[in-house]
Amino acid sequence: MKPMVRLLLFLLSITAICVFWGEHTLYIAPQKQRFCACDRCLFENNTLAIEGLREFPQPLLSRNYNLPEEEYNWWRRLQPGGGSISDYRKNIERVFQLISDNPPLEASSPGRCRTCAVVGNSRNLLKSHYGPLIDFQDYVIRINRGHSKGFEADVGNRTTHHVMYLESASQLDNTTRPVLFTFKMRDLPWITRVLSTQPSGKKSIPRKSLFNKDLAMVVNPAFMRYIHQVWLQKKGAYASTGFMALALALHICDEVHVFGFGADSDGNWSHYWEKVPNKKVKTGGHPGNVEYEMIEELARHQILKFYTGW
């Protein structure tokens, strides 16, 4: 056989071997459509029986949103304070004259993995050493009087979002997003008041706003009702602020890590910075056990990761 023909045959055999190996070894299975870029996206393989857990269209209020009367009537009965729906609408209009419209929530996308830590205020955080794990997440959501100073090793020191309402509010730094809950009519003028930087007693010193108004978000009362009805099956008076913060996280994050939830051995919601002053306080009007069981259930179905503390 001529050398040229031998070379050709040799090259042909090499090509045939490569094609054979390629087909058998380099086969890549077709990729399943992903919702996000995390190892496991929220509700990707939803095996939980409760329908519609992450389907609330508008968890945050916006300038042009009109709260339906039925939702308003539920909200109005949460705490004493009264008022008509037109009072409510006027107050909300004033709030939105001061704050920028809430940004629409970004939908998950295959290229994004936004991780969140929701940090409740339970005493089970003490000695947990969760601090670095909490700070490692993209968003760190703290609640009410939850704070870091003196507890950094256990609770971390970053805060991107701070969930609060009139009675639990504290001064935030300029970069933290205030996530505002309202429970009664009086809470609405409170928002406008703390946002207006009017002069204080001394003429030259303007009163400092409690938080950066450009970052403020106001939670939709209809979302609060939905959590109570759909998530908690109407147990208790209404959901705790912490539980609602967790539900909100499931709407804005791709991966949710939950810390600092759980009553003490007497069944009280004691805090990591103080012993509970009144042993009969339990979990207030909130369905503490139902909320805790729901978090456990969500963790069992790998919808979130639950760190139960020390």
Q: Interface residues with ligand C5P (CB under 6 A)?
A: 120-123, 143-145, 240-243, 261-263, 269-271
Cβ neighbours, 10 Å, residue 293: 11
Whole-angstrom distance, CA of residue 58 vs CA of residue 38: 24
**Is residue 14 helix, strand or coil?**
helix
Long-range own/partner contacts, residues 89-95 (CB < 8 A, 24 or more apart): 91/185, 91/188, 91/189, 91/192, 92/61, 92/67, 92/188, 92/218, 94/188, 94/189, 94/192, 95/188, 95/191, 95/192, 95/195, 95/218
Nearest alpha-carbon partner for 251 in 161, 151, 127: 161
Question: Contact 279/266 with Cβ under 8 angstroms?
Answer: yes
Question: Please, which residue, 99 or 219, has the CB nearer to ligand C5P?
Answer: 219
Question: Please, which residue, 40 or 235, has the CB nearer to ligand C5P?
Answer: 235
Question: Please, which residue, 108 or 240, has the CB nearer to ligand C5P?
Answer: 240
Phi, psi of 123 (to 5 degrees): -70, -15
Least distance to ligand C5P, CB of residue 28, Å: 45
Least distance to ligand C5P, CB of residue 257, Å: 15
CA 74, distance to chain mean position in Å, is 23
Question: Please, which residue, 91 or 121, has the CB nearer to ligand C5P?
Answer: 121
Least distance to ligand C5P, CB of residue 163, Å: 8
Least distance to ligand C5P, CB of residue 119, Å: 8
Least distance to ligand C5P, CB of residue 160, Å: 17
- Measured between its terminal Cα atoms, the distance across the chain in Å is 81
Least distance to ligand C5P, CB of residue 309, Å: 9
Please identify every residue annotated as catalytic. Answer: 238, 286
Whole-angstrom distance, CA of residue 117 vs CA of residue 23: 44
Question: Contact 213/98 with Cβ under 8 angstroms?
Answer: yes
Question: Please, which residue, 131 or 146, has the CB nearer to ligand C5P?
Answer: 146
Q: By Cβ distance, which residue is nearest to ligand C5P?
A: 242
Which amino acid is present at 75? Answer: W
Question: Please, which residue, 144 or 209, has the CB nearer to ligand C5P?
Answer: 144
